[in-house]
Amino acid sequence: MKALVTCKRVLDPYIKARINADGSAVNLDNVKMAMNPFDEIAVEEALRLKEAGSVTEVVAVSIGGPKSEETLRQALAMGADRAILVESDQDIEPLAVAKVLKAVCDEEQPGLVLMGKQAIDGDSNQAGQMLAGMLNWAQGTFISEIKIDGETANVTREIDGGLEKLSLKLPAVVTADLRLNEPRYASLPNIMKAKKKPLDKKPLADMGIDTAKRIEIVGLSEPAERQAGVMVDSVAALVEKLKTEAKVI
């Protein structure tokens, strides 16, 4: 069975996001980018399924600019077999992402699509669900465990207040949550090998997909700066401040 894994290039989550002066977007010039951490978990799981013999080929796919090749090379260095870059110079919306991935699935015919539960930039949490809908495949979202058993994938979902176990008929779309695994480090010998693995590039413009924007971003703002704490001299002073300043008692 072939597994398709999605890898989005996003702002490194360790870096403090800053908004452009005009408030229109997060500044991505000259800042450190990285693979979406949930996608990294998805790649790791695909590799583990391959090592367990459930998957025979792992194909990494990314939609993005030329630099997204680095993100795909990382997936290849982790152990993916080959990669597809859908070249797009604009950041497309979740619906368009799902349409593009649907086209890739039609061509590649994977038995399993592994995705991150969301990308940490837009935090939309939509692409996986929409892709499953378009393909009319089973879906398991927010998964913390997956086992392949013949024609089914048994997954555990992390839901509010507990865990839900589902049996999905393959082919299926699953999206990874944080606790699914801890991704491996890329070793230098594998990084060198990854440079020679096949990476196909397809211009998005050639795919005949309508990716027009449907959502208008009205504005972005940074979270309010946290106020520095103050030391109070006595319990009485604390109570006084809680009453008059914090107004919580």
Given the rule CB under 8 A, which residues bind other proteins?
Answer: 12-15, 30, 32, 34-35, 37, 74, 77, 182, 185-189, 191-192
Q: How far is the CB of 194 from other proteins (least distance, A)?
A: 11
Cβ closer to other proteins: 228 or 246? Answer: 228
Cβ closer to other proteins: 2 or 48? Answer: 48
For 72, list phi and psi in degrees, rounded to 5.
-70, -40
DSSP-based three-state secondary structure for 65: coil
Q: How far is the CB of 34 from other proteins (least distance, A)?
A: 4
Cβ closer to other proteins: 120 or 207? Answer: 120
DSSP-based three-state secondary structure for 96: helix
Cβ closer to other proteins: 30 or 244? Answer: 30
Q: How far is the CB of 223 from other proteins (least distance, A)?
A: 16
What are the residues facing 33 on neighbouring strands?
Answer: 11
Q: How far is the CB of 9 from other proteins (least distance, A)?
A: 11
Q: How far is the CB of 240 from other proteins (least distance, A)?
A: 21
Q: How far is the CB of 186 from other proteins (least distance, A)?
A: 6
Sheet-wide strand order for 152-159: 162-169, 152-159, 138-149, 172-176, 112-116, 2-6, 57-64, 82-87, 199-203
Cβ closer to other proteins: 188 or 236? Answer: 188
**Cβ-contact 203, 87 below 8 angstroms:** yes
Cβ closer to other proteins: 191 or 207? Answer: 191
Between CA 132 and CA 12, with CA 6 as vertex, the angle to 5 degrees is 130
Q: Which two tokens stand for residue 99?
A: 């349409």
**Cβ-contact 47, 78 below 8 angstroms:** yes
What span, in angstroms and rounded, lies between the C-alpha atoms of 220 and 19? 7
What does the DSSP assignment read for 195-218?
TTS-EEEEEGGGGT----------
